[in-house]
Amino acid sequence: MTEALYFLDCYLKEFEATVEKVTDDRFVVLDRTAFYPESGGQPSDTGKIVRQSDRAEFDILYAGKFNGEISHEIAGENISDGLEAGDRVKGFIDWDRRYRNMRMHTATHVIANVIEKEAGAQITGNQLGLDQSRVDFSLEIFDREKFAEYERIANELISRKIPVNLYLISHKEAKEKLSRLTTLAKGFSDEIEEVRIVEIEGVTIEACGGTHVKNTEEIKGIKITKLQNKGKSNRRMYFTLIN
């Protein structure tokens, strides 16, 4: 199992690791990584790994998690250039992309929580994007007028500079304590002994494996860009970050 360095330190931009295996000349598994693998609606990190022996650089265009292993896909074809098990490498995350995902992700927790509390909506899915993100929810009466108010409440919470805490608790404890293991927590299975909790102090506490900012002030603010009716009580909301 790859040690996931992003799990408790979302601000780690560089790391050292050892190659465990390379398959098809392009998929690299390391013993540890700070690359976030696509999951739970959050896109994969991109970046590069550098072989320490000769400084050869490999652009990473995707990271995915398969059976507990995080696989890094090298850009292009047949370009692993002899990279092999045992090689020491240094990894570098594309920080601008990751940090924007962290802000988007944490913003999703805030706005999702507001529409749950204020409108009684039930969140059914989410997908983060660099330009805009999407939240799907179930809501009987869809009063679009009210969403300006939900946006205002979310921005008011964001501006309060609320700490965002990450920690691990046992899966058993999570099931007992948390009334909701949300859709943002996709990817957790019963075999996992510890669950990563994200707590926006006094606002929401959820199980979630994504990357988050340390304080809501880093989000700066959000703007709802589109509301859609997807039939029955299925609704969709798009939002973006203001700057």
* Chain residues that interact with Zn ion, rule: CB under 5 A: 184, 198, 208, 210
Strands (E) across 173-241 are located at 194-200, 204-207, 222-229, 234-241
Closer residue to Zn ion (CB): 37 or 210:
210
Closer residue to Zn ion (CB): 22 or 208:
208
Closer residue to Zn ion (CB): 7 or 27:
7
Closer residue to Zn ion (CB): 64 or 187:
187
Contact at 8 Å (CB) between 133 and 126? yes
Find the shortest distance in angstroms from Cβ 186 to Zn ion: 10
Find the shortest distance in angstroms from Cβ 166 to Zn ion: 9
Find the shortest distance in angstroms from Cβ 18 to Zn ion: 29
Region for residue 161 given its phi and psi (left: phi exceeds 0; alpha: psi -120 to 50; beta: otherwise): left
What lies within 8 Å, CB to CB, of 112 at 6+ separation is 123, 126, 135, 137, 182, 184
Closer residue to Zn ion (CB): 19 or 115:
115
Contact at 8 Å (CB) between 214 and 163? yes
- CA gap 39, 119 in Å, rounded: 27
106 backbone dihedrals φ, ψ, rounded to 5°: -65, -35
Find the shortest distance in angstroms from Cβ 205 to Zn ion: 11
Contact at 8 Å (CB) between 104 and 133? yes
Find the shortest distance in angstroms from Cβ 207 to Zn ion: 9
